[in-house]
Structure 1
């Protein structure tokens, strides 16, 4: 031992020993703390990871996406969506520069990491420590996918750990390309728009597959902060961000420097921003309702499942109709208030029952979303149809089941049916009219007579087959013949009914949808119209042909100058006969249904609620304003193509009739060789109803039968006979003892074949008089004189000197022949008398 080295004291040795014991205790304590912390952390992670394992990552494939609507030609109309406007797109559909733009700005090592990027994670950690807050998240594309699909946007350590864990799991389940595709379909671009496809359409009005480099770069810059970098919010910041993305694409070798400069210089053309809305809303409402019913899902679910709905809409026609409805001059105003009327319209394709265009009102008023629908008057507001119901309720069943033909005669005269006294709209009564005339001119009283004749129940049963609804109050009511329904019908119901007539009596329901595909392009619904024969082809053809007369010379003549084959029926409903409308001349509802074998157009005009401030002017009949709208539509449809005509069924007989005989004798006769061309008309019949008897109207009339000359109690000559032709006039001639020339003394013209008597009062007592009759045809002339038939025999009688004679002696018959030239009517001192039966 060095003698100079001090010897440690007992006290100092004790202090060192105590210090080592303290360090050991501290170390043990710290180790225990760390171990406990790690154990607690392990337990914590074990618990929460078990919960995180419950997340079904495959559900990411079922993200909400918009559904799509297409027109009749499979052209895209619009997308419909709930909260999120998203259109899924496949990665293979996108150009490389779209994918590269997002990788460059969001996750350059995307194809090299396993869900999270350690380098970026630590870099972000350092920045967060420097700033003293959670500022940067360093999330990879995979992490953004799980965050957007399953997690909240709150910036917490717990959420970040969960994000990393789920990202790691996601990379075990899916390939990098699948994850990138998920990302591009999930990310938010502002304005309620999710995914690259919807964003491309929102900002540039094009599909993502058509994006340029500059457009792709601008979109890639938005997701970091859509409120800041959306060009609709901040154009300057958006363009700066776009250039940054391009610079990154150049930096990482996705673009050359020249390509980058070119992309920066590109002038971008943006789509016009617009509030969320849908075109053709009346039609779209019907599509959503029908599609939801077909698929058995709610309308809300329909908006989020990515369906492709191929509709029946002719979009160009719909746009034209909407433009037409913006023209105030086509729609009358109430005379009292000046308030314009409402209107609804349907254009139906006859062969398929598909709706080509529809208007539910002059304006569409609703809430702010597609689920909140507006009032569609075309399908939701029944109105009294007026005379537009006559073909379906009255004339259809009369022709189909009760043997009525176009030339059946019906009396148009004032009549009382119990407590009901119908009147004609124009106040005129025409006497005997044919079914064709009554329907074409929409005469009211004949329609009521026919419905009473065939039975109200029979009429209703027939119309119900055409889809016409009736209230219980209608079932014993004759006024329904004129459209006086308790509730009424909608334009779509009338269109559907007339489509059955136009389609040769085949009924089918209407539709707005041709087919539906799911988000994978698989057809899940295909429309197959089911047709039901509810009226014979022959009956439908005859009724259609009668309604063509309404266009040619009836209530729908405004359509005539279109020069296309059309049938039509108008309807006009007068104001109620109540104290409220006393002294007011106006119209309640006005209709027209115009059609051919291809299209039915139904137009209604009126008011939702009729009162003294809401009614149509008196001239707003169905044949005026509604007809003008229908006319414009048919002109548009057939501006470049030929309109089809109604085809005659094989079992229909086309017959040439004698119009004069029909009118004079109220019976259909075949035209004869003598019938003047001006009096030959064409009519259609079934084999069971076709006339077979040829007209003899233009033949020389027959001599009357049972010709007699007797003396009455006063001793005066009485000439009696029975006419043989209703069209003939009968000239009575007399020969006197002191004259050689027959004297024309009287003419008789009657419309029946009943026996006729006439007394000759201008005679002298004690003289002999000889009488004969010459039948003539007033309508036919020969050599300037009426056509004569064969004269009767001559009968003579002697007028007694006194009126007190012994009875009435039989006149003498002579066989004296008189040349026809001698019996030409001459000026007589007696006035010609025409006797007619009163109806």
Structure 2
């Protein structure tokens, strides 16, 4: 009996010591545990979502793609699927489940490695929110204590709400709503029982059971969860049987519909205003005035225009591959092609496998076929980058890698990767919003945006600012200036400037309108001389050109550098007489629905398009009047003449009133067309990224205007034909197109000219030379 007494006492001491140890450990770990405030004030990182004016989702920004869903909106079958897979006794245990822990320990011991987890959903919440992911006994102790505390503080439904919104489920999805969207492109209330079970099977190993990566394993796991739902009485046998027969289907990740440089400009403005963290974690709701059809049409117009221009460039010696690599190359192309028919702005590589006198047999990865040899002038061998191939013949040979372009009729034509680039920027003048923005031929989001980042000489596209300044200072469209040779120098033969006109043609005395319509350089320089460079520089400060300019007469010819964005937004002033920033972001709300930002487009609210509106903030500031409406109309009317009679006649194909201006720099390095109707303004630049000549034909009218025309035709579909409204203070008079004098005759040389009221010329028999003597117009500067 004594030995039993000793053993009892010993056991009592051991038990007491163990209790004290456990108690001490509990007090130690409990005193170092984090607060539960992060759970009670749950504000997770949320995806910010971008919508078009119709409420359609077009883009998302997220560091963690999460869509927060209240508990009452979580479908019961989804909750039951997760309970069956993760914690069947969730509503019964106090945060930890000793029986499940023991069962998992036995299973893991038998397997020799971890095959089953013993954590409850509450423990997972503790781990995911409050602890590090390390695997240690200390962390498990903290996890158990925290789980118990969580159960004492929050209801079971609140714990499930935290768990189902926080958990990572693979494919970049955090929380069940995000997973439903990214796996099935569905809302939670649209999920089937089978889809709920698939999502519930993911927490165990999101990568292993991802249906888009491992469909067989995902199907097995889904069916296991369905079986557990039946055993746990969360679903009937019939429901489970039907769900198991449902095929496992996943949707491709939704592609962003907000694309190209438009997408980059929206992101840039949002990041500048709200910061990267708020944008990617704040769950903002953003409305942008985006028209996907307009942007797609602009991209197509630019790409097709560039490819058409490439047909006029020298053909560059192609890359050549040995016959032993043909099959590998063709197989590689085949794996990337998803359509047999090429669009007319799409290019793909192809291999020349056979040639004849007039034809080439090519293989594009899907099939081989014959095409006609184009008449193409090849580059000089000494200029070729591919010097090895340049040693061969200046024609196509078997083994050459060429590029094919769709011809718009189901066929193809030979092309080459573009050596020319372009950019397009369009503004909806009626709504005051950014309509389209294309940063280059093959623009990738985050790339070099040629709309804003490329600074190039605008050439004659800069002249309207000079001419409207002349109008502001008393000249009229009928005023006479001299278009004749002029030389500037400092007395040294080696240091002089002799500007000239295109093709060295001079017209003598011409009207202001004629000088602008035909882009006469010498007349423009004389106009700037007469106007005064200081006066012009002061006027330029009224435009959003984003820079100061040197005091030089060459400014009359656009010998300066500006971006397409700055030039196009400055043309807004010419078109409307007002200075305003086109709206790219109409409205931003936080996760609670509070409005953080709303923009004004010109004088209209960018959301409801009502106006006028008060200036509540910088983003709500209405337009600033820069030009008198009369001067705005006069310069627009003169630029209508550029299209009707001058260098922009190709734009007549638009079939509606439009004003515009071509621009071409020396040696055809840059080509521009800037033009607008009462509804839409579009600017187009064409050139090489490294400035060099595109060839003598590549003027603004030939290179840039066709792109402008195709895009504008699409932009004006379903828009009524409108002419530019005539403001008060305008009078019209028939004048001779050459002399600017009133006339009562009819014919091609007569124009119904617009004037500021009271400035129309009076009938006179004086010749232009005599008129110079009586000072009735600015000095000719001869």
With the length of structure 1 as denominator, give the TM-score of the two structures: 0.72
CA distance in 2: counterparts of 1:495 and 1:87, whole angstroms: 39
Q: For residues 250 and 195 of structure 2, what CA distance do their matches in structure 1 show?
A: 9
User: Match of 1:430?
Assistant: 507
Of 46, 50, 56, the residue aligned with 2:27 is 46
Say if 1:667 and 1:285 are closer, same or farther in 2 by CA, change over 3 A: closer
Instruction: For residue 129 of structure 1, report the CA deviation from its aligned partner.
Output: 5.2
Instruction: Give the whole-Å Cα distance in 2 for the aligned partners of 1:253 and 1:87.
Output: 29
Question: 1:395 aligned to 467, 480, 484, which one?
Answer: 467
The two structures have a TM-score, normalised by structure 2, of 0.77
Q: CA deviation at 1:751?
A: 8.1
2:484 to 413, 426, 433: 413
- Are the structure 2 counterparts of residues 290 and 172 from structure 1 closer, same or farther at C-alpha, using a change threshold of 3 Å? farther
Confirm whether residue 531 of structure 1 aligns to residue 623 of structure 2.
yes
Q: Which residue of 1 aligns with 2:702?
A: 624
Taking the TM superposition and a 5 Å limit, the aligned residue runs for 1:90-239 are 90-128=70-108, 130-131=110-111, 135-239=115-219
- Does the residue aligned with 1:426 lie in a helix, a strand or coil? helix
1:334–1:341 Cα contact (<8 Å) kept: no
* Larger-Rg structure: 1
Matches of 1:624 and 1:245 in 2, distance apart? 65
1:421-500 equivalence runs, <5 A: 421-471=498-548, 474-485=549-560, 488-500=561-573
SS at match of 1:69: strand
SS in structure 2 at match of 1:378: coil
In structure 2, relative to structure 1, the CA distance for the partners of 1:32 and 1:79 (3 Å cut) is same
Q: Are 2:679 and 1:598 aligned?
A: yes
Aligned-residue offset at 1:30: 4.8
- 2:392 is the counterpart of 1:322: no
**Deviation at 1:289?**
2.1
In structure 1, the residue matched to 2:714 is 636
Q: Distance in 2 between matches of 1:592 and 1:668?
A: 31
Structure 1 residues 147 and 193: alpha-carbon distance in aligned structure 2, compared to 1, 3 A threshold: same
Please give the root-mean-square deviation of Cα atoms over the aligned residues, in Å. Answer: 2.8
Hey, what's the Cα distance between the residues in 1 that align with 2:771 and 2:204?
101
Conserved 8 A contact 2:258-2:290: no
1:572-614 CA-partner distances (Å, limit 9, x unpaired)? 0113xxxxxxxxxxx111111111222211111112222xxx4
How far apart, in 2, do the equivalents of 1:235 and 1:181 lie? 29
Alignment partners' CA distance in 1, 2:73 and 2:721: 43
Conserved in 2, the CA contact under 8 Å of 1:550 and 1:569? yes
Match of 1:36 in 2: 17
Determine which structure has greater relative contact order: mean sequence separation of CA pairs < 8 Å that are 6+ residues apart, divided by chain length. 2
Q: Deviations over 1:414-433 (max 9, x none)?
A: 11244432210121101111
Which segments of 5 or more consecutive residues in structure 2 lack a partner in the other structure? 315-378, 385-415, 490-495, 602-621, 773-781
Q: How do 1:637-786 residues align onto structure 2 when only pairs under 5 Å count? A: 637-653=715-731, 655-659=732-736, 663=738, 666-669=739-742, 671-672=743-744, 675-676=745-746, 681-691=751-761, 693=762, 725=765
Q: Secondary structure of the residue that 1:139 maps to in structure 2? A: coil
Question: 1:109 and 1:519 mapped to 2: Cα distance?
Answer: 34
Match for residue 552 of structure 1? Answer: 644
Report how far residue 384 of structure 1 moved: 0.7
CA contact (8 A) 1:353 1:499 kept: no
* 1:253-272 superposed matches below 5 A: 253-272=233-252
The CA distance in 1 between the partners of 2:67 and 2:701, in whole Å, is 48
Asked if 1 retains the 8 angstrom alpha-carbon contact of 2:36 and 2:150, the reply is no
1:626 Cα deviation from its structure 2 partner = 1.0
* Aligned counterpart, 1:540: 632
1:354 aligns with 2:433: yes
Shift of 1:134: 5.6
Q: How many residues align?
A: 645
Distance 1:346 1:46 in 2: 67
Aligned counterparts of 1:355 and 1:293: Cα–Cα separation in 2:
18
* In structure 1, C-alpha distance between the alignment counterparts of 2:89 and 2:517, rounded to whole Å: 81
Q: Name the SS for the 2:502 alignment partner.
A: coil
| Paired residues of 1:57 and 1:170 also in contact (CA < 8 A) | no
| Structure 1: distance between partners of 2:481 and 2:676 | 26
Distance 2:153 2:300 in 1: 54
Whole-Å Cα distance in 2 between the matches of residues 55 and 334 of structure 1? 69
List aligned pairs for 1:3-82, cutoff 5 A.
20=2, 28-54=9-35, 56-58=37-39, 61-82=42-63
